[in-house]
Amino acid sequence: MREIVIGGAQMGPIQKADSREAVVERMIALLKQAKGAGCDLVVFPELCLTTFFPRWYMEDPAEVDFWFEREMPNGATKPLFDAAKQAGIAISFGYAELTPEGQHFNTSILTDREGNIVGKYRKVHLPGHSEFDTERAFQHLEKRYFLPGDLGFPVWRNMDALMGMCICNDRRWPEVYRVMGLQGVELVMLGYNTPSVNSQMADEGLEKRLYHSDLSMTAGAYQNSTWVVGVAKAGDEDGHPLMGGSIIVDPNGYVVARAAGEGDELIVHACDMDACNFGKSTIFDFARHRRIEHYGRICSQ
């Protein structure tokens, strides 16, 4: 048995006016709760230090760069790293990354239990658009503010398990899980900011959006025999509602923990990494059963 007690730290809304320091205080409060619950690892949402700023159209590069972090950890986030190290809890969280070369990415990182960054992922599937779209009820400008990730979908051995990350819209793409599955992934961590309403289809209900989120993660878990932890930033950000629905999914595709609300909320499950073994050695033993001679189209179009 290789048990990791995992906390999914859903976060409620972050308003435009909220400071990084105030958000980090909330993250540390969730971390303390996680310590009390016996967590070894805590997963926080996508872009969790700020409001979901890609909903705002900006032309001034300085205004855009305000939302980005030039280094990690930095002054605002160091207390979080310190608290995690003191608690002996590994963490994963998302933020907007501005590299020394001036590149902008939607990024998440993974630490070990000593607060060292052991993995970095940059979001590959950027949804939305790059110019102001008058046809939408609200904007989703990720293609304007971020470059597509350039690191692929690596996995890292951390805490005696193979761990990988993806971010939000990535969770809807089967290739993401499979590329990590082919590396033996046992835990996929992801955060998301998913609007509760569809900007291009006003009558699409929240129920359908939550269903598609569940469907994507449960299928990815089952078809690759891996744990999946999906964590929302939720609630009303300056009049723009984001859905909750954070879940922990086991390697059979069952949801074993689910957030009830749209605020700061910790979900916890003791995840046995050895639970991945059966599926990986039987129905999803890729080496024995895949027929790659028929898959070429996936990579050629």
Q: If you compute the radius of gyration of the chain from its CA atoms, what whole number of angstroms results? A: 18
Among residues 77, 108, 193, 226, the one that binds ligand CDT under rule CB under 6 A: 193
Pinpoint the alpha helices (H) of the chain: 20-36, 61-65, 78-87, 142-145, 174-181, 206-224, 277-281, 286-289, 296-300
> Interface mask (CB under 6 A) for ligand CDT, residues 109-148, using x and -?
------------------xx-----------x--------
Q: Where are the beta strands (DSSP E) in the chain?
A: 3-10, 41-43, 90-98, 104-111, 117-122, 155-158, 161-167, 187-192, 227-232, 235-237, 240-242, 247-249, 255-258, 265-272
With H, G, I as helix, E, B as strand and everything else as coil, classify residue 198.
strand
194 near ligand CDT (CB under 6 A): yes
192 near ligand CDT (CB under 6 A): yes
Residue 223 Cβ vs ligand CDT, minimum distance, rounded to whole Å: 19
Looking at 13-21, 70-78, 188-196, 230-238, which segment touches ligand CDT (CB under 6 A)? Answer: 188-196
Q: 116 is written with which tokens?
A: 């060292």
Q: How far apart are CA 110 and CA 159, in angstroms?
A: 11
Q: Is 168 a catalytic residue?
A: yes
Looking at 5-13, 192-200, 229-237, 261-269, which segment touches ligand CDT (CB under 6 A)? Answer: 192-200
246 near ligand CDT (CB under 6 A): no
Among residues 92, 139, 169, 225, the one that binds ligand CDT under rule CB under 6 A: 169
Answer for the pair 78, 131: CB distance below 8 angstroms, yes or no: no
10 near ligand CDT (CB under 6 A): no
Answer for the pair 235, 242: CB distance below 8 angstroms, yes or no: yes
Among residues 168, 176, 197, 247, the one that binds ligand CDT under rule CB under 6 A: 168
Nearer to ligand CDT, 193 or 225 (CB): 193
174 near ligand CDT (CB under 6 A): no
Q: Which of 48, 166, 168, 271 is catalytic?
A: 168
Give the footprint of ligand CDT on residues 45-64 (CB under 6 A): 46
Residue 217 Cβ vs ligand CDT, minimum distance, rounded to whole Å: 11
117-122 vs 3-10, strand pairing mode: unpaired
Q: Is 123 a catalytic residue?
A: yes
Q: Is 101 a catalytic residue?
A: no
Terminal alpha carbon distance of the chain: 42
Q: Which residues bind ligand CDT (CB under 6 A)?
A: 46, 127-128, 140, 168-169, 172, 192-194
- Active-site annotation, residues: 46, 123, 168
